[in-house]
Amino acid sequence: MQSQIMKSFIVIASSLLLCSCADMVVTKSSVSSSEGRARATVDAKDFDAKDGVHYETCGVGAANPVAIYIRPFCIDSAIFRGDEAPSDGEMPIRKALTPVAFANDLKEELSKMAPSLVIAENEFPTVGWLVEGQFDLVDGGSPLARFFFGQFGAGQSMLALHVKVTEVATHRVVYEFDMAGGSRGQGKLGTVRASGLGKATPFDLRNAAERVLLVLSPDPFRFGARSSLALR
């Protein structure tokens, strides 16, 4: 009995912890139907208290690519600030390497869906999906502020980016969405998804890559899966 109570306490505590820790969410999306007949856009800001988000479309979403190709995201016009490098002189290097780091994270995550490969700017695949996009904001936040008032959101990191998924064979953009998130109120100790006093951006990039996988997977958590067949 005591063991059961302890397990329940751990589950509740973990849930409360994860609610306030780092994560990425989709803030706006655009979807093309399987035959390209319709295209619908959902903006998380376009809702009211009664009806929620208004969304209408038809057709079946694209799924199950035979291969996924990742082109490092453009970062030229992105705001790049916060705790990213030991000195201002190193900031341009860190900015230039951020797309490389994110492309590798995406490859690792999307490989769970289909064989994935990072390609160069002058390479053009002929099958599967092409995933590309751009960074809008990369902010490493402030470790000092996180140390003192991180649990209240001070010093939090932030990452904002735009993702575009193209069906290569038909040159059709099947999914397009904006993402944003960061360390949030995680404090000095951090979590498995947040850095604490360390560099926050690598955690944000990994969280974003995981979110892209979840967005593009039909049933990412396999909620409907059964361990045994029971017909009644």
Q: What is the pLDDT of residue 161?
A: 96
* Residues with Cβ within 8 Å of residue 75, at least 6 apart in sequence: 95, 96, 98, 99, 134, 135, 138
Q: What is the pLDDT of residue 230?
A: 61
Question: Tens of pLDDT along the chain (232 residues)?
Answer: 444 444 444 333 443 344 445 678 899 888 876 555 545 555 554 444 445 444 444 567 899 999 999 999 999 999 999 888 889 999 999 999 999 999 999 999 999 999 999 999 999 999 999 999 999 999 988 777 676 555 666 678 899 999 999 999 999 999 999 999 887 656 555 554 455 556 788 989 999 999 999 999 998 877 777 776 665 5
CA distance 81 to 77: 13
Q: What is the pLDDT of residue 46?
A: 47
**Three-state SS annotation for the chain:** CHHHHHHHHHHHHHHHHHHCCCEEEEEEEEEECCCCCCEEEEECCCEECCCEECCCCCCCCCCCCCCEEECCCECCCCEEECCCCCCHHHHHHHHHHHHHHHHHHHHHHHCCCCCEEECCCCCCCCCCEEEEEEEEEEECCCHHHHHHHHHHCCCCCEEEEEEEEEECCCCEEEEEEEEEEECCCCCCCCECCECCCCCCHHHHHHHHHHHHHHHHCCCCCCCCCCCCCCCC
For residue 42, what are its two tokens?
Answer: 């959902």
Q: What is the pLDDT of residue 197?
A: 54
Q: What is the pLDDT of residue 221?
A: 76
Q: Alpha carbon of 154 to those of 44, 64, 142, 186, 190: distances in Å? A: 24, 41, 8, 9, 13
| CATH class of this structure's domain 21-33+66-216 | alpha beta
CA distance 161 to 79: 11
Domain ranges of the chain: 21-33+66-216
Q: What is the pLDDT of residue 225?
A: 75
